[in-house]
Amino acid sequence: MNLENLVAVSGLSGLFRLVANRSNGLIVEDLADGKRRFASARKHQFTPLESIGIYTDDGDSTELKNVFRNMLDQQADNPPVDPEAAPEELRSYFADVLPTYDRDRVHVGDMRKVVKWFHYLQGKGLLADNPTADSDTEAAQEEE
């Protein structure tokens, strides 16, 4: 699972792939239709998906990648809920996927966004585990 070049852009719906970096913004490619566009840094904020963390009870956070992996692992016996489900249903699902999430700091809107992103990325085939890429990364880290 590689979230490295994926970004969320404030003010624009959907997720984007980072294409190029400019001094005054980013050139991003919409994952839905493949169209490229310039997003100005003056107007938008950029959030790389790999930098997003979900707060946990121990005062730390867990990476979004780990939450997605838990969702994939539990998909057969605990399918993801609809992003527009009732708040109680979202909280219950999130408690199954990440039992240690901080109930005070992780809001229902955050859960909706994570589930929505999961459905979207899985539909695009971007959440498939690539064992060779993971083992290459681990091997490179072990050599250091």
The residue extents of the domains of the chain are 6-49, 52-123
Question: What is the structure's pLDDT at 140?
Answer: 39
Question: What is the structure's pLDDT at 69?
Answer: 93
Question: What is the structure's pLDDT at 127?
Answer: 84
Question: What is the structure's pLDDT at 72?
Answer: 92
Domain 52-123: top CATH class: mainly alpha
Question: What is the structure's pLDDT at 128?
Answer: 76
Question: What is the structure's pLDDT at 2?
Answer: 82
Question: What is the structure's pLDDT at 130?
Answer: 56
Nearest in space to 17 (alpha carbons), one of 50, 61, 62, 59:
50
How far is the CA of 45 from the CAs of 22, 25, 34, 73, 99, in angstroms?
14, 9, 20, 32, 30
Structure-block tokens of residue 138? 């681990």
Which residue ranges of the chain lie beneath pLDDT 50? 131-144
Question: What is the structure's pLDDT at 129?
Answer: 65
CB 55 within 8 A of CB 101: yes
